[in-house]
Amino acid sequence: MLQTERIIGGSQASQEQSPWAAALYNDDTFTCTASIISTTAILTAAHCVVLNGVQMQPNEFNAIVGNVNRSASGAQQIFFRKITVHPQYNSAQQQNDLAILETTQPIKFSDTVKRICIADSNIGSLLLKKVTAMGWGQTTRENENNVYPETLRYVRQRVVSNFNCMVLYLGKTVPDTLLCASGILSGACSGDSGGPLVYYIGRQPVQVGVASFANAIFGCGTKLGPAGFTRVSSYNDFIMNTATGNVCVV
């Protein structure tokens, strides 16, 4: 199993498509993708902020929002005062892989910077539904040097059953708190995690997952290598009780 994800075979995203996307940096090095869920909180994967079993400090991180090109001028830089990792985060089993970062100052919302609503616990089955993964991770499986693109990318996928996901991961436990998604020659893979998996209810974008892990056996970005996402709707209580600001639930 790989710990992190990248977008394989995706397309370049526009700012209008993804005003909630955040590029997370650790000591000025791009680390993960995250999503804005309120004026004062972003959501990402726990393993993005935990190193060798130790939670890192909020002053070690910053994020860029407001531009799909993370190096472009005019992007908004945000800093953090608090990090909360899910108390049952298990790095070995890659479960409960969620963290919330609280900003030092409110994020300035605009036409290009917005929150994304999170999925409610009664959203229902997503099996075979079309979803969108996005991130600033590597764009090819052959990229050995962790060279990340400057521009956010996205890929369309379908949710696969947890049973099929378990079979393809050779018996790995895939509980209901996880969901898996795959494309034919596209998907999330090694190099970028924490990014949102988005499902559209009509024209309403809703975050249903947080990128967590990928398959190192069959290869990532393939039908035989679905990516694993933490199922957001299973963690409403944690998110609502932890995130400051006004979190939207759909």
Could you tell me if 218 and 227 are in contact, meaning their C-beta atoms sit under 8 angstroms apart?
no
pLDDT digits (tens, 9 = 90+) for 81-124: 999 999 999 998 889 999 999 999 999 999 999 999 999 999 99
Distance CA 222, CA 9 (A): 10
- When mean pLDDT is compared across 25-39, 105-119, 154-168, 236-250, the lowest value belongs to 154-168
pLDDT tens, 56-74? 999 999 999 999 999 888 8
Neighbours of 104 (CB within 10 A): 13
State yes or no: pLDDT of 128 exceeds 60. yes
Is 217 a residue whose pLDDT tops 50? no
Q: Which two tokens stand for residue 84?
A: 């909360």
How, if at all, do strands 196-201 and 130-135 pair? antiparallel
CA distance 7 to 136: 7
Q: Over 90: is that where the pLDDT of 214 sits?
A: no
Helix (H, G, I), strand (E, B) or coil at 238: helix
Average pLDDT for residues 165-194, to the nearest whole number? 75
pLDDT at 149: 82
CB 162, CB 231: distance < 8 Å: no
Lookup: tokens for 163:
């049973």
Helix (H, G, I), strand (E, B) or coil at 171: coil
The per-residue pLDDT for 4 is: 45
Least confident of 46-55, 150-159, 182-191, 194-203: 182-191
Task: Report how far residue 189's alpha carbon sits from residue 224's, in angstroms, rounded to the nearest whole number.
Answer: 12
Give the three-class secondary structure for 139.
coil
Spatial separation of the C-alpha atoms in residues 147 and 197, rounded to whole Å: 22
Distances in Å between the Cα of 209 and the Cα atoms of 96, 131, 203 are 12, 10, 18
- What is the Cα–Cα distance from 197 to 51, expressed in whole angstroms? 24
Q: Please tell me the predicted confidence (pLDDT) of residue 166.
A: 87
Paired residues of 181 in beta bridges: 159, 227
